[in-house]
Chains A and B, each alone.
Chain A
Amino acid sequence: MAHTAADPRPDEEDSELKRSITGRLLFFYTLGDVLGSGIYVLIGLVAAAVGGAFWIAFALGVSVAAITGAAYAELVTKYPQAAGASLYVNKAFGSRPLTFLVTVSFLAASMAASGSLAVGFASYFETLWSAPPALLVSLAFLALLVVVNFIGITESVWMNMVMTFVEVAGLLIVLVIGIVHIAEGNADFGVLTQIDTSGDFGSPALAVLAGISFSFFAMTGFENTANVAEETIDPHKAFPRSLVGGMIVAGLVYVLVSMAAALTVPPDTLAESDAALLEVVKAGILPFSTDLMTTLFSVIALIAITNTTLVTVVTQPRVLYGMAREDVVPGVFAKIHPTRRSPWVGLLFSGFVVGSLLVIGTLVTEAGGGIDLVGRLATVTVVLLLAIYALVIVTCLKLRGQDEHDRVFHASTPLLVLGLLGNLAILYFTVVDDPHSLIWCAGLLGVGLVLFLAEYFLGSKGTGSRTPDVEPHH
């Protein structure tokens, strides 16, 4: 973080330190980012692992995530910059290799998340139009988001808010179906306490832990709020409230939606479905045509997934850009398109890596690799993020007493310790349950290593600050 203070900051009178992200926008940004990732995609896997009581997995998972969110809130109020976990780890340990590893892990997690979401997008899209092959749909979806990001229309915070409302509306439909079902007297509440111990996980505790592990992808995304830290008004107030508040609301929605789904559709049916929440809508409990409801719900799910994927697609080139400026990856990733002001090389590269993940994943699946691509990529994301989350909590505790000022939010220490243990327990289970996911993690981290070596052997110092060759006229 070399900073030469040759440019004086504009003096107070002349500068308008006008920031644009209010606490309310931050709340919706968190909520939208968290809600889109997962519940539409993964609820079937969770139901399969736990049985009717799978809401417990969502409740516990979101609690661990919310505590981690509190650690982020503390660190953001100390260091309100866009770099997130990498910055905190660098402040706490000052070790370049560790910072690099964390940054690359975060990038890899984000890429795997994009992949998982793109596959999830394709499975909902299939209900609208089943002709094109799923791989083609997910690749086209990805390409579209890359183009949108290049043009730079991702900047609309209002669009983000509208998409979040749509997401919540989709989940409200599920809730309403659940309530109608209960009101009609058809609900068997016994199902909510059923934990399936007949499957792979012999004890109830293990089954629930498996459920938390599978559902955890639905809790991720909140870490991306660090992206807007610098532009948030009164971050010391907004972050604790909006980030943790957004997580709690998301958790509440998850628990209620899980209960509604379990009450209306047998967990076995949920478990077998690629687009599980659709089964709830298809159950025909509301007095509307099932076709209409299915179409409406699919569109809502597609919007929800798009909202979250967009944030991941925006994040990847940003991370690459930051690394290029630190001279740890080739300077070409710091290249900004002269008129569009987008990091177009980083964008294309991220799109290419995620696209390759989708192609390789599809090939492995078709070759009988016995993997569920959505689940596998989600697991890769979860493994990498859990390690980062655990480290962020450690960092938060280690940085206590350093860079303190009276506007720093403090998370409760016992809660942080509990959150750390929670993250580690889920991480341990996830790795033991699906050790092959580590191969995928290593493959993605390898991309970072290749970039580092390319810069180390081929790059020259300071490429990051080299400016594009555009000659002004006159």
Chain B
Amino acid sequence: MHVIVATDGSRQSLAAAKHLKSFADPTKITDVSVVAVIRPLASVAFADDLSEGEKWPAGSFREAAESAVAAIAAVFDGWGPKVHKRVRSGSAANEIIKAAKQYDAGLVVVAAGGRGLSDAVLIGSTAQRVQHYAPCPVLVVRPAPRKPRKR
């Protein structure tokens, strides 16, 4: 089975990758594709929160995406499946879904943001769209509730 692990450079996407590794059976997985999507028309086309202390050149969002992909790929080092690093460009959800079709993926792993107001009210969350339109099962990894927040 080919598994796609999507990253937007967030810590939560790293947590999602680790979560997959924590329960999945590496002998059942042939390939892991770590996919990052650069959004050319967004204010910050890609930001990498994962490479601690690293500095990619401020002008290159592509290198930011590459370093985030490398950080996620490092999670699966020596795990078994062949790991591919892929950087795509366009609208995040669309590209993840396209990648899933292209690689004939058996599972897509995405991180979702908070459980708070912003996810409930603001439309267009990437995880939501992937969930709705992916051609295969989707694992949406949410952050664990840590502190009770005001409702």
A-side residues, CB < 8 A to B, are 1-4, 6-10, 14-21, 79, 81-83, 87, 149, 151-157, 160, 227-228, 230-231, 314-315, 317-318, 321-323, 325-326, 336, 338-343, 346-347, 464-465, 467-468, 470-474
Report 25 cross-chain contacts, Cβ distance below 8 Å, ordered by A residue: A1-B57, A1-B58, A2-B57, A4-B54, A7-B70, A10-B86, A15-B87, A16-B88, A20-B90, A21-B89, A82-B45, A82-B59, A152-B42, A315-B43, A339-B10, A341-B8, A342-B43, A343-B44, A464-B55, A467-B50, A467-B52, A468-B11, A470-B11, A470-B143, A472-B18
Which residues from chain B contact A464 at a C-beta distance below 8 Å?
Answer: 55
Chain B contacts to A: CB under 8 angstroms: 8-12, 14-15, 18-19, 22, 38-45, 47, 49-63, 66-67, 69-71, 83-92, 112-114, 118-119, 122-125, 143-144, 146
B113 lies within 8 A of A338 (CB): yes
Given the known inter-chain contacts A16-B87, A338-B11, please indicate yes or no for A318 contacting B43, CB distance below 8 A.
Answer: yes
With A10-B87, A19-B89, A471-B11 given, is the CB distance from A2 to B38 under 8 Å? no
Q: What CA separation (Å) do A326 and B58 show in the bound complex?
A: 7
Which chain A residues border B38 with CB–CB below 8 Å?
20, 230-231
Contacts of B89 in A (CB 8 A): 18-21, 231
Interface contact A341-B9, CB-CB below 8 Å:
yes
Instruction: Determine how close the nearest CB of chain A comes to the CB of B37; give it in whole angstroms.
Output: 9
Closest approach, in angstroms, between the C-beta of B109 and any C-beta of chain A? 14
A15 to B85 Cα, complex, angstroms: 5
CA of A119 to CA of B146, assembled, Å: 45
With A7-B51, A14-B85, A465-B53 known as contacts, the answer to whether A149 contacts B43 (CB < 8 A) is yes
| Given the contacts A10-B85, A465-B54, A467-B52, A15 and B66 also touching, CB distance less than 8 Å | yes
CB neighbours (8 Å) of A151 from chain B are: 122-124
Residues of A within 8 A of B47 (CB): 336, 341, 343
Contact A153 B85 (CB under 8 A): no
Partner of B42, one of A325, A342, A468: A342
4 residue pairs, one from A and one from B, having the closest CB atoms: A339-B113, A472-B15, A81-B59, A83-B59
Decide: A83 near B58, CB < 8 A? Known: A20-B89, A341-B44.
yes
Check B55 against A474 for contact (C-beta < 8 Å). Answer: no
Which A residues are CB-close (under 8 A) to B92?
A: 155
* Given A321-B43, A339-B114, 17 additional A-B pairs, CB 8 A: A10-B69, A17-B87, A155-B40, A155-B90, A228-B40, A231-B38, A314-B43, A326-B58, A339-B119, A341-B8, A464-B55, A465-B53, A470-B10, A472-B11, A472-B14, A472-B18, A474-B15
Number of A-B contacts (CB under 8 A): 185
Least distance between A15 CB and chain B CB atoms (Å)? 6
CB distance from B68 to the nearest CB of A (A): 9
Give the complex CA separation of A470 and B9 in angstroms: 12
A433 to B22, CA, bound (A): 69
Residues of B within 8 A of A326 (CB): 58
- Which one of B44, B58, B124 lies within 8 Å of A336 (CB-CB)? B44
B119 touches A346 (CB 8 A): no
Cross-chain contact A155 with B91 (CB below 8 angstroms): yes
Q: Which residues of A contact B15 (CB under 8 A)?
A: 472-474
- In the assembled complex, which residues on chain A have CB atoms less than 8 Å from the CB atom of B44? 317-318, 321, 336, 341-343
In the complex, the answer to whether B54 meets A6 with C-beta atoms within 8 Å is yes
- Are A3's CB and B55's CB within 8 A? yes
Cross-interface CB contact of A473 among B43, B55, B61, B144, cutoff 8 Å: B144
B36 to chain A, nearest CB (A): 10
